[in-house]
């Protein structure tokens, strides 16, 4: 993800300092898994990055649905 994408971490005070978000996406039969590091409660991104994540989610959902169990 772009360094311009920032998160608000629920574990830290809201002092205005944003931290970069690392996101991992994967799938297994019947499930799509998203992992955020650090954990986040909200994320803010530009339309292009949001669109790319939405497309990736759809692709992982399709693969998870059709994966052999």
**What is residue 13's predicted lDDT score, i.e. its pLDDT?**
52
Asked if residue 1 is part of any domain, the answer here is no
For 45-69, what is each residue's pLDDT tens digit? 889 989 999 999 999 999 999 986 6
Asked if residue 45 is part of any domain, the answer here is yes
Asked if residue 46 is part of any domain, the answer here is yes
**What is residue 67's predicted lDDT score, i.e. its pLDDT?**
84
State the Cα angle at 52 between 22 and 2, rounded to 5°: 40
Q: Where are the beta strands (DSSP E) in the chain?
A: 6-8, 19-20, 22-28, 31-37, 42-44
Range of the domain at 43: 6-66
Query: Poorest-confidence range of 4-8, 22-26, 37-41?
Result: 4-8
Is-above-0.85 flag for pTM?
no
Indicate the number of domains in the chain.
Answer: 1
């Amino acid at each position: 993800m772009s360094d311009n994408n920032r998160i608000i971490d629920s574990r830290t005070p809201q002092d205005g300092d944003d931290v970069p978000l690392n996101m991992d996406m994967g799938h297994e039969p019947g499930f799509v898994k998203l992992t955020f590091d650090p954990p986040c409660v909200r994320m803010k991104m530009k339309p292009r990055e949001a669109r790319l994540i939405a497309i990736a989610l759809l692709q992982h959902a399709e693969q998870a649905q059709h994966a052999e169990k």
